[in-house]
Amino acid sequence: MKTNVLIIGLGLIGGSLAKALQRHPQVMVAGYDADPLTARKAYKMGITHSSPPSLEQAAADADVIVFATPVGATLKLMEQSRFWNLKEDVILTDTGSTKALIMDAAKGLDHAFIGGHPMAGSHKSGVEAAKEMLFENAFYILTPAEGVADSQVAFLKDLLSVTKAKVEVLAADDHDHMTAIVSHFPHLIAASLVHQLAKEEEQPFARQLAAGGFRDITRIASSNPEMWRDITTQNNDKIVRQLSNWMEEMEKLRTLLIANEPEPIEKYFQDAKSVRDELPIAGHGAMFSVYDLYVDIPDVPGIISEVTGYLAEESISIVNLRILETREDVFGILVISFQTPEDRERARACIRSRTAYDTYIS
Ligand SMILES: NC(=O)C1=CN([C@@H]2O[C@H](COP(=O)(O)OP(=O)(O)OC[C@H]3O[C@@H](n4cnc5c(N)ncnc54)[C@H](O)[C@@H]3O)[C@@H](O)[C@H]2O)C=CC1
Ligand SMILES: O=C(O)C(=O)Cc1ccc(O)cc1
Q: Give tens-digit pLDDT for 184-242.
A: 999 999 999 999 999 988 888 888 888 778 988 999 999 999 999 999 999 999 999 99
Average pLDDT of span 28-44: 98
Q: What does the pLDDT read at residue 325?
A: 54
| Cα dihedral sign, 107-113-117-121 | negative
Mutating to test ligand 2, I would choose from 178, 220, 239, 287 the residue with most ligand atoms within 8 A of its C-beta, which is 220
Q: Which residue has the higher pLDDT, 60 or 321?
A: 60
The DSSP output letter for 220 is G
| pLDDT at 288 exceeding the cut of 90 | no
Which of 185-202 are b and which e, b meaning 16 or more Cβ less than 10 Å from the residue's Cβ?
bebbbbbeebeeeeeeee
CA of 120 to the centre of ligand 2 (A): 6
Q: How far is the CA of 307 from the centre of ligand 2 (A)?
A: 30
User: CA-to-CA distance for 202 and 64, rounded, in angstroms?
Assistant: 55
Q: pLDDT for 293-329, tens place per residue?
A: 999 888 778 889 999 999 999 999 888 888 775 444 3
Could you identify the atom of ligand 2 that is nearest to the CA of residue 96?
11
Q: Tens of pLDDT along 108-128?
A: 999 999 999 999 999 999 999
Nearest ligand 2 atom to the CA of 119 is 12
Which ligand gives the minimal distance to the CA of 16? 1
Cα–Cα distances in angstroms (integers) from residue 222 to residues 124, 321, 336, in the given order: 8, 20, 23
> CA–CA separation, 24 vs 13, rounded Å?
17
pTM over 0.90: no
Q: What is the DSSP string of 241-284?
A: HHHHHHHHHHHHHHHHHHHT-HHHHHHHHHHHHHHHHHSPPTTT
Per-residue confidence (pLDDT) for residue 92, from 0 to 100: 98
Q: What's the CA-to-centroid distance between 62 and ligand 1, angstroms?
A: 20
> Is the predicted ipTM greater than 0.95, yes or no?
yes
pLDDT of residue 331: 45
What pLDDT, on the 0 to 100 scale, is given for residue 323? 77
Residue 232 Cβ contacting ligand 1 at under 6 Å: no
The helix/strand/coil state of 238 is helix
Domains of the chain are: 3-170 (3.40.50.720), 175-278 (1.10.3660.10), 291-360 (3.30.2130.10)
Cβ–ligand 1 distance for 65 under 6 Å, the answer no
Counting ligands in written order, the one closest to the CA of 220 is 2
Residue of 71, 78, 97 with the most ligand 1 atoms within 8 Å of its CB, for mutation: 97
* Digit-coded pLDDT (tens) for 2-27: 999 999 999 999 999 999 999 999 99
Q: What is the residue with the minimal CA distance to atom 1 of ligand 2?
A: 122
Instruction: State pLDDT tens for residues 227-280.
Output: 999 999 999 999 999 999 999 999 999 999 999 999 999 999 999 999 998 887
Ligand 2 centroid to Cα of residue 312, in Å, is: 31
**In the chain, what is the straight-line distance between the N-terminal and C-terminal CA atoms, in Å?**
47
Residue 330 has a pLDDT of 36
* pLDDT value for 327: 43
Q: For residue 217, how far is its CA from the centre of ligand 1 (angstroms)?
A: 23
Query: What is the Cα–Cα distance from 177 to 179, expressed in whole angstroms?
Result: 6
Rounded-to-integer distance, Cα 126 and Cα 68, Å: 11
59 lines ligand 1 (CB under 6 A): no
283 pLDDT above the threshold of 60: no
pLDDT in tens, 330-357: 346 888 988 788 899 999 999 999 999 9
**127-181 pLDDT tens trace:** 999 999 999 889 999 999 999 999 999 999 999 999 999 999 999 999 999 999 9
The answer to whether residue 284 scores a pLDDT higher than 60 is no
Query: Ligand 2 centroid to 39 CA: how many Å?
Result: 23
pLDDT at position 125 is 94
CB distance 292 to 335 below 8 Å: yes
Q: Give 155 Cα–ligand 1 centroid separation in angstroms.
A: 24
Cβ atoms of residues 311 and 349 within 8 Å: no
Question: If you take atom 11 of ligand 2, which residue's CA is the nearest one?
Answer: 97
